[in-house]
Amino acid sequence: MADRKVQIPWHQDSYYEGVEQWIRQELKGADLELKGKLEPVKDTDVTLVLRIPTYEEDYYFKAGTFASKHEAVLSSELQKRYPRKTVDVLSANEPENWLLMKDLKGESLRTLKDKKLWQKAISEYAELQMAEMKSVDRLMQVGVPDRRMPVLKEEIHQSLEEMCKTGLSRNETKQVMSLLPILLEMCDELDSIIPPSIEHGDLHTNNIRLVGDRLVFFDWGDASISHPFFSTRVFWHALDDLISDDSEWLGMVEEFRPHYLEPWTKLAPMKDLDRALRISDELACVQRALSWHLYITPNRKNQAESYNKPSQWLRLLLEHRVLVGK
């Protein structure tokens, strides 16, 4: 796959000058002063992160491509409603998708292999999702992508076969395409059990930190309004860090299911919720494949690097169905 000519803003000569001017202005408004140079922490064709030293404490600047154009305003929205559950935003520049935030400090959940803490985290995340159901219209208004079930069904119809061409064999493609009507039925069934809410899109344990006594969820660049249960699929993969053998993974997922589902029992019976989450285990693989195919890769300069991501997620769907005896 040949890379297309996608312009990465921070790879333009004049970009840093504008960024520094904005940072200085926002710091001044908070009675802070820049101390030294901006320090690149991450510079890819997807994200730019800079460390901002001040005389008080470190801050961080983050910018993303068009794929994550909503991250700055979404982070700001969530911080207003849940100041203890997400990053402390000093300023957000919505048109530029620039985010200026305090150093989170604390420790990544990935380094804290504490099963009870992880279970607490997935439960608190579910509570945040439940609380955000009332803000769905507001979030879409400020630019969070609408990937609710009608949209997802249309994306599956239009792109499933094309995604198979990113790396599946002929036999794998046949298997995936035979699932098309089942996948569409899954969309309808999920929609009938739990309404849409915020879906993080990349909820691995390096995007959750323990800061003092609070759990903080951040890095919302892949977020959308969709079925909330989809967030668990990436989190389930992170459970590899809590097991010693691959054969233990499904059992570990079973241990975590009730911790995620318990908050949702205010809306539906546990039996229905459990079925919905098991459907999500499969359908989320397709949703994530579409994320790469339609949202992330087209906005990258080095598109070849993630071209085959959709096929990897579709293969995972097939493997999961075998694992659970389908």
26 vs 33: CA distance, rounded Å: 9
| Phi, psi angle pair for 149, to nearest 5° | -55, -40
Q: Is the overall model pTM greater than 0.75, yes or no? A: yes
Specify the pLDDT at position 192: 96
Tens digit of each residue's pLDDT (9 = 90 or more) over 238-271? 999 999 999 999 999 999 999 999 999 999 999 9
46 vs 66: CA distance, rounded Å: 9
Task: Give 10-residue mean pLDDT values along the chain (326 residues).
Answer: 71 92 97 95 96 96 94 96 96 96 96 96 98 97 97 98 98 98 98 97 97 97 98 98 96 98 98 98 98 96 95 98 96
Let me know: does 314 contact 289? Beta carbons within 8 Å.
yes
Let me know: does 188 contact 227? Beta carbons within 8 Å.
no
Q: Residue 282: how many CA atoms within 13 Å on its side-chain side?
A: 24
- Among candidates 66, 109, 72, which has minimal Cα distance to 239? 109
Secondary structure of residue 243 in the 3-state scheme = coil
Q: What is the DSSP string of 21-78?
A: HHHHHHHHHTT--B-S--EEEEE-SSEEEEEEEBSS-EEEEEEE-GGGTTHHHHHHHH
67 vs 300: CA distance, rounded Å: 9
> How far does CA 142 lie from the centroid of its chain?
17
290 vs 155: CA distance, rounded Å: 7
Specify the pLDDT at position 6: 74
Which domains, and CATH codes, for the chain?
A: 9-102 (3.30.200.20), 107-323 (3.90.1200.10)
List alpha helices for the chain, DSSP H. Answer: 15-29, 71-81, 115-132, 136-141, 149-164, 170-178, 180-193, 231-238, 249-261, 270-290, 309-323
Specify the pLDDT at position 7: 82
Other CB atoms within 10 Å distance of the CB of residue 168: 21
123 CB-contact burial (10 Å; exposed 0-12 / middle 13-18 / buried 19+): middle
